[in-house]
Structure 1
Amino acid sequence: MTETRALIEEAAKKSGLIWVQGPTGPSRALWHVWHEGAALVVGGPGEQPLDGLGLVDGGTASVTVRSKDKGGRLVEWTAAVTELAPDGEEWTAAVGELKGKRLNAPDAEAIAERWARECRVLRLLPTGATASLPDGSLAAVPLPTSATTRRAMPAGLPRLLRRGRRG
C-alpha cells in the first residue's frame, strides 16, 4: 500500500464525515463507512441527500477528509463512483456495513429493504490522485438571507436586570 493510499484510508476511517463534490453542485458533508478500500455512502428519501451532486455510476467525485479533532483538512482525493446494484453481492456487503453505522433509523429492521427500494448506495474508490492542500481557508461567503440572530434589546430590560441583583 502506498503512503498516499494509507493516508486516505486512515483519515477516512477516523473521520465521521467526508465532504463530497460531484461534477455539479457544491460539496456536501456525508456520513460514510470505510470498507474494503473505499468509502460507502447511502442517500435518498429518509437518508442524506445525494441529489444535485451529479454522482453517477462510472463518474468521478472529489472527496475531502477533515480531522475529527480539529476540523482541519487532512487530504483531498479523487474517487471513482460506482453505484451498487440492489441485492448484488457487493451491495449486500456494503449495506451490512452501513446498517451498523446508521444512527436513529426509523425502520431499523427493514432498512435494507427500504434502501433497495428507494435509495442509492455508492462506492467511492480512491483513484490515487490527491490534490495539494490550499494555502487559504476556502471558506465560502454565506448566502444573503433575511434571517437574523440578534435583535435590539427591549428598553425595559436593563432596569429589570438591575432590580434582580438587589433581591
Structure 2
Amino acid sequence: MTSQPLDRALVEEAAKKSGLLWVRGAEASAARAVWHVWHEGAVCLVGDGPGEQPLPGLADGGAAEVTVRSKDKGGRLVSFPATVTELAAGTPEWAAAVAELKGKRLNAPDAERMPDRWARECRVLRLVPAGPVAALPDGDLAERPVATPATTRRPVPAALPKLLARRRKGR
C-alpha cells in the first residue's frame, strides 16, 4: 500500500469514482485504458479472454503503473505504482472480486454465465498500490493510440452537415 495516509485516501477515492483507468505493465510499451472496480484496497481487473479487455504486460508478481482519470473531465488525477497479483479461480478472493466486477461489466452477451466463462478463459487481477503517488507532470504525455484494425469505412460526405441542419429546421 502507499506510504502516506493522504496518498492512500487519494488513490482510493479516485479509483472508486472513476470507471476507467490507464495501466502500463512492466513489459508493455504503452499504457492501456481498462475498466475496473476498487475492491478491498486494490484495483481489480478482468481480461485476456474472448470478448474481454486485453491486459498486456501485466504478469502475476509483476509491477504496473496505474493512472486514474477524472470521471467528469477525463484528465489525470493521480498515478501510482502497483503490484500485480493474479487471483486463482474458485478461491474466496476470486469470488469476491468477480462479484464486484460482474456488476460493472457492461453489455456482456452472457450475463448469468459470465463468472463461469471468466474462470475458464480469463484472468482476474488485483493491482495493489505499492509506493507513493507520482508527481503530476509538467508537460504533455500524449501518446499515439495503440494500433487497431478498427477504422471508419469512408469519409463523411461533404453535404451531410447541410442535410442535418435542414432536417432540424423542418421540425
Unpaired runs of 5+ residues, structure 2, are 167-171
**CA distance in 1: counterparts of 2:62 and 2:106, whole angstroms:** 28
How far the C-alpha of 1:129 sits from its partner, in A, is: 2.5
Q: Mark the CA change 1:75 to 1:117 in structure 2 (over 3 Å): closer, same or farther.
A: same
**CA distance in 2: counterparts of 1:95 and 1:140, whole angstroms:** 32
Q: 1:84·1:91 contact (CA, 8 Å) conserved in 2?
A: yes
**CA distance in 1: counterparts of 2:99 and 2:144, whole angstroms:** 39
Q: Structure 1 vs Structure 2: percent identity of aligned residues?
A: 65
| Aligned residue identity for 2:50 | P
**CA distance in 2: counterparts of 1:142 and 1:9, whole angstroms:** 27
Q: 1:42·1:121 contact (CA, 8 Å) conserved in 2?
A: yes
How far the C-alpha of 1:104 sits from its partner, in A, is: 1.2
**CA distance in 1: counterparts of 2:19 and 2:113, whole angstroms:** 24
**CA distance in 1: counterparts of 2:145 and 2:105, whole angstroms:** 30
**In the alignment, does 2:15 pair up with 1:12?**
yes
From 39, 46, 51, the equivalent of 1:42 is: 46
How far the C-alpha of 1:18 sits from its partner, in A, is: 0.8
Q: Mark the CA change 1:118 to 1:15 in structure 2 (over 3 Å): closer, same or farther.
A: same
Q: Mark the CA change 1:103 to 1:137 in structure 2 (over 3 Å): closer, same or farther.
A: same
Q: SS at the partner of 2:65?
A: strand
Q: How well do the aligned residues superpose, as a CA RMSD in angstroms?
A: 2.6
How far the C-alpha of 1:94 sits from its partner, in A, is: 0.5
Q: TM-score, normalised by structure 2?
A: 0.81
| Aligned residue identity for 1:36 | E
Match of 1:131 in 2: 134
Give runs of aligned pairs for residues 28-107 of structure 1, distance below 5 A: 28-43=32-47, 44-50=49-55, 53-107=56-110
How far the C-alpha of 1:141 sits from its partner, in A, is: 4.5
Q: TM-score, normalised by structure 1?
A: 0.83
**CA distance in 2: counterparts of 1:34 and 1:74, whole angstroms:** 16
How far the C-alpha of 1:45 sits from its partner, in A, is: 1.5
Q: 1:4·1:128 contact (CA, 8 Å) conserved in 2?
A: no
How far the C-alpha of 1:128 sits from its partner, in A, is: 2.7
| Aligned residue identity for 2:46 | V
Unpaired runs of 5+ residues, structure 1, are none
Q: SS at the partner of 2:132?
A: strand
Number of aligned residue pairs: give it.
154
**CA distance in 1: counterparts of 2:12 and 2:146, whole angstroms:** 34
How far the C-alpha of 1:132 sits from its partner, in A, is: 1.0
Q: Which has the larger radius of gyration?
A: 1
Deviations 1:27-47 (A, max 9, x none): 000000001010000002111
How far the C-alpha of 1:152 sits from its partner, in A, is: 9.1
Q: SS at the partner of 2:112?
A: helix
